[in-house]
Structure 1
Amino acid sequence: MKKKNLIALTLFIGLIYLLHSTPHLAVRTYVFFTGYPVAAVTTNIIHDDYHNEVDKEKFAEWNAKAYTLTKPPIEKATQGELRNYLVKKRGFFHIVEFYGEG
């Protein structure tokens, strides 16, 4: 029984690592699990040149870059576009957070 649990845990950790191994996969995973699976699969992801330039020093300090969805999902409560995301790199792992509309 312990061997099965160890295998399951190893597979789960491997899947989490795989889904956060690149900035684009991490953004897609984040968008998927925040309730927008169609947008996560269908949108293109590009570098957010504006935020990457304006916040260059802050992003360098955080080891982060901003990305933009070309077809962003619309937030249900506010009808705002969920367009920009900040991706911070921690070792081999990418962590995503929403970075705002503008």
Structure 2
Amino acid sequence: MKKIIRNTTLVIVVVVIFLLLHLTPKIAIRTHVLFMGYPIESFTSDIYEYKFSYKVDKNNFIKFYPNAKAYTLTKPPFEKATESELSNYIVRKSGFLYFADIYGET
């Protein structure tokens, strides 16, 4: 009986942590950067919504990603393998949760 209670409690804790880490776009980006292996950048970088330079870019983005927004980090992590900064992220909304991924050059 104790084993069932312990396992149930563990599952509930994991689910609650998952939900908390995906409640807002900024927290989703910080979680993604943290799990990519850049803990300092995930906590110290500011995040703001990306402003598109051209209307065509914005229209194409909305066409291909209707439930998403682009965000930029002010102090992005530097990836040694590709020798580039990982500054732009796309955040998709699924229900009430947000999921982040690298967007590349915007």
String of CA shifts for 1:25-70, please: whole Å, max 9, x gaps.
000000000010000000000001118725123232xx11110001
Name the residue aligned to 1:53. Answer: 58
Deviation, structure 1 residue 73: 0.5
Report if the CA contact (8 A) 1:81-1:101 is conserved: no
1:71 matched to 2:75: yes
Name the residue aligned to 1:20. Answer: 22
Name the residue aligned to 1:80. Answer: 84
Deviation, structure 1 residue 96: 1.1
Moved over 3 A (4+): none
**Separation (CA, whole Å) in 1 of partners of 2:64 and 2:81:** 30
Deviation, structure 1 residue 101: 3.5
**Separation (CA, whole Å) in 2 of partners of 1:20 and 1:28:** 10
Q: Which amino acid aligns with 1:18?
A: L
How many residues get paired? 100
Identity, in percent, stands at 42
SS state of the match for residue 52, structure 2? helix
Question: Which segments of 5 or more consecutive residues in structure 2 lack a partner in the other structure?
Answer: none
Deviation, structure 1 residue 93: 1.1
Question: Which is higher, the Rg of structure 1 or of structure 2?
Answer: 2
SS state of the match for residue 65, structure 1? strand
Question: Which segments of 5 or more consecutive residues in structure 1 lack a partner in the other structure?
Answer: none
Normalized against structure 1, the TM-score is what? Answer: 0.91
Q: RMSD of the alignment, in Å?
A: 1.5
